[in-house]
Amino acid sequence: MPEQPATPPRRLFNASERVALYLAADGQCTNCRATLAPGWHADHVAPYSHGGATDVINGQALCPTCNLQKGNNVANSAREWQTHARDLFLSQPKKNFTVAATPGAGKTWFSLALAKLLKEEGTIERIIVVVPTDALRSQWADAAEETGLSLMPVTGPDDYDKAGYDGCVVTYAQAARGVGSNLLRRITRRPTIALLDEIHHAGEKRAWGDGLTDALEHAVHRICLTGTPWRKDATSPIPFVNYDNDGKVVVDFAYEYGTAVSDGVCRRIEFHAYDGEARWADCGKISSSSLGNNLAEADVSAALDTVLQPNQPWMPALLAQADRALDELRQEIPDAGGLVVAHEMYHARAYAEILKHVTGQEPTVVLSDDPEAKTKIDTFRGSSTKWLVAVRMVSEGVDIKRLAVGVYATKIRTPLFFRQVVGRFVRTRKDEEFNARLYIPAVPALMDHAREIEEELRHQLAIEFERERKAREDAGYSQGAFDFDRQPLSATEATFDRAILNGDEVTPEEIGRAEIWCRANDIPMTFATRVARGHRSMQQDGIEVISPEAVPVVAIPRHRRERMLRGEVDTLVGKAAYKMGIPKKDFNYQLRKEGFPPRAKATIEELERIQAFLLKRLGEL
C-alpha cells in the first residue's frame, strides 16, 4: 500500500495538545504565572506565520492578556499569494488582469500595493478604485492611507480629480453613468490604473457595464478583483473579463479558500445546521414539513417563511443557541461579535428585540433605508458590542474581523449570496486561533452550499498533500415571489441537526459527548466540534477515548509523531527554500552538508533537531 501523504501544517492546537500544554504549565500562564481561567490561550512560541510548528514542543499556555500583547511582527508584510500575484502581473503586464481571492485573503492590500509600486515606477500617475457600495468608499480610502496612498472618496464632482490626492474611490453607479463617467473618461487620459472591487457587480445592470467600459477605456491597467466566482449572464455582460467555453470567468490568478485556510490566512468555519417542523396554509391547504425534507421550491420557501417568523419558537431558540456559543468564545476573545443576516427589515427589528431580551444588551441594527447605516457599521467594528443584525448590508466587502458567530436567517439560497455571507466570518486577526461558526436552516440547498465550500477545502488540502509527496520524491443569489395566499401557521423550536466541518458531518450525540469531555478538561466549548471529530478518528483507529472522569493523559503513538514531524519539516524546508529563492532540492542538499540524514531515514530525535535548525534558520532569513 502506498504511503499516505503527510498532513500539511495545522494552525490550531487540537484538544489533546491543549490538555498537554495546560498540564505542562501547571495550570498557570507561562509568562506571568497567573492561574489559567477558562478561555486561556494555546500559543505558538515561534509564531506560526514564521514557520512555527503547531506542536506541543512549540506551544505554551498563556492567559489572554499576555497572548494578546505578544505580536508576530509580520502584520504588515505581504502574504505569499500577494507576492506571487504581483510577480505574475509584472512578468506579463496586461491591460486587464483578473484576480480571484477568497474573502479575507487581502485583495485590497494586494491591489493598492501594486498600484503604489506602478506609481513609484512612473508607469501610472492616477489611481481609480471602483467599489459596489457607498460604505466601501471610505473603507478603501482608509486602507490606501495605510499603504502610503491618498485616495478621495467621491461624494461630488470636485472629488474626482482633487489636488493633493493620488486618485479617488467611486461606486459602480457613479462610474458608469452621468457626470461621473464623463469625468473619469477625461481623467484617465493621464496614465491611470483602475482597481475594480467585486467586478461581478458591473453586470447587475446592462447600462453599468456599458458606462464602465466608456469611463475606463483609456486606463493603462484594469485590475479586476473578486472573491466570489460567477458565470456569464448573457443579459448583463461584465466588461474587462474573459470567459471559458462553459461560461465561467477566466482569472489570471486565483487564491482559493482551501489554500487560504491551509496557509493560516483565513480561519475555518463550522456550519451548524438546525432542523424544525413548519406548518403553513397555502390557498387554504394546510401543509407541514421539517426543513430537512426534499421539498418543491415553493414549499421550501413556505417552510422558511414559517420558521423565520419572529413570533414562532424556531428563531428565538436558534438565537439563544448562537448567543451561548458567542458567550463561550468571548471568554477567550473578549470582543468577538455575532451577525444575524435577516430577510426582511421587520424581521431584523424583531430579532434585535429577541437578542436584547436574551443578552440584556441592545444589538446594533443596520437597515438599507437607514441613513446612519455606515456609521453604525463603523461603530460596531470598533466596539465590543455582541450582536449586529442586518438585512444584506453586511453581505459583501465590509471588513469586521471580530465577527465569529453568524445566524443565516434569510430565504435567499443562491450560492453567490451564501458565499458572501460566509466571507464575513473567515477574516483573521493575529494571535487568534478559533473556528468561526455559522448557524443555518437545515434545508438541502443550504446544506449543499456548505458541503461545497468544505469540499473545496478538502480539494485544496489534497493538492497540498500531493505537492508535498512529489517534493519528497524529488528530494530523494434568486428568491421566490411572495405568495399573498400563503400564511405561516406554526413552527417548532430549532433543533440541532448536524455540524459540517472539514467535510465531516458531526451528529448531536457526538457533540454532546465532546461537550462533556471539554467541560471535564477545562477546554472551551467552542472546541467541541473538533473534539468530536478527534474522538471519532481515535475510535476508528482503535484508540480508547479518555472518559470525562479520568485524568487526561496525552500519549501520541510514535509512528504518528514521526509522520507528523516529517510533514512539519517538509513544510519548513519549502518555506526556507522559498525565502532563499532556491529550489527545494537544493536546500535539501544544504541540509545534507549540515550533517542531517535524509528525512525518510531520520529518527524522531533527528527530525526534532532538523525542525529546530529550520526554525532558527527561518528566524534569520
From CA 443, how far away is CA 242, in angstroms rounded?
34
Dist CA 273 CA 292 (whole Å): 10
Burial 247-275 (b: 16+ CB within 10 A, else e): eebebbbebbbbbbbbbbbbbbbbbbbbb
Q: How far is CA 516 from CA 43, 292, 512, 579, 614, in A?
A: 24, 27, 6, 45, 39
Give the whole-angstrom CA distance, residue 621 versus residue 617.
6
Q: What is the DSSP string of 146-189?
A: HTT--EEEPSSGGGTT-TT-SEEEEEHHHHTSHHHHHHHHHHTT
What confidence score (pLDDT) does residue 186 get?
93
SS3 for 452-480, per residue?
HHHHHHHHHHHHHHHHHHHHHHHCCCCCC
pLDDT for the residue numbered 415: 78
Q: Are 63 and 25 in contact (CB under 8 A)?
A: no
Distances (CA, A) of 268 to 383, 403, 453, 485, 513: 24, 13, 11, 42, 22
DSSP element (H, E) containing 308: none
The CA distance from 493 to 509, in Å, is: 18
* Contact predicate 606/596, CB 8 Å: yes
What residues contact 593, with CB distance under 8 A and at least 6 apart?
none
Maximal CA-CA distance, the chain = 83
The C-alpha cell at 186 is 477625461
Question: 279: part of which helix (H) or strand (E)?
Answer: strand 277-282
The pLDDT of residue 498: 60
CA–CA gap between residue 376 and residue 390 (Å, rounded)? 11
Give dist(CA 402, CA 434) in Å, integer: 11
Percentages helix, strand, coil for the chain, rounded to the nearest 5? 45, 20, 40
Q: Distance (Å, rounded) from C-alpha 409 to C-alpha 259?
A: 29
pLDDT score of 18? 76
pLDDT, position 293: 84
For 283, residues 6+ apart whose C-beta sits below 8 A from its C-beta are 485, 486
CA 169, 175, 180, 183 torsion: positive or negative?
positive
What is the per-residue pLDDT for 363? 94
DSSP classification of residue 191:
S
- Going by C-alpha positions, the residue among 50, 41, 35 that lies closest to residue 12 is 41
Q: What is the pLDDT of residue 365?
A: 92
DSSP sequence for 361-402: S--EEE-TT-TTHHHHHHHHHHS--SEEEESSTTSSS---TT
Residue 487's pLDDT is what? Answer: 66
Residue pointed to by grid coordinates 500539511: 8
CA trace torsion 407, 410, 415, 417 (10° rounding): -90
Mean pLDDT per block of 10 residues along the chain (621 residues) reads 47 71 72 71 71 74 68 50 88 88 83 93 94 84 87 90 91 88 92 91 69 91 82 67 78 78 74 87 82 83 90 91 90 89 92 92 86 83 91 66 91 82 80 81 87 70 55 45 53 65 68 74 67 64 48 46 72 76 82 85 84 80 64
Quote the pLDDT of residue 189: 92
Q: What is the DSSP letter of 63?
A: -
Domains and CATH numbers, the chain: 1-67 (3.40.1800), 80-259 (3.40.50.300), 267-471+477-503 (3.40.50.300), 507-555 (no CATH), 558-621 (no CATH)
Supply the pLDDT for residue 20.
72
Q: How far is CA 500 from CA 436, 450, 453, 530, in A?
A: 12, 7, 10, 11
118 CB-contact burial (10 Å; exposed 0-12 / middle 13-18 / buried 19+) = buried
What are 257's three cell numbers? 479558500
Q: Which SS3 state, helix, strand or coil, does residue 409 take?
A: strand
In terms of pTM, does the model score above 0.85? no
The pLDDT score that the predictor gives to residue 298 is 82
Beta partners for 209?
none
* pLDDT (0 to 100) of residue 97: 94
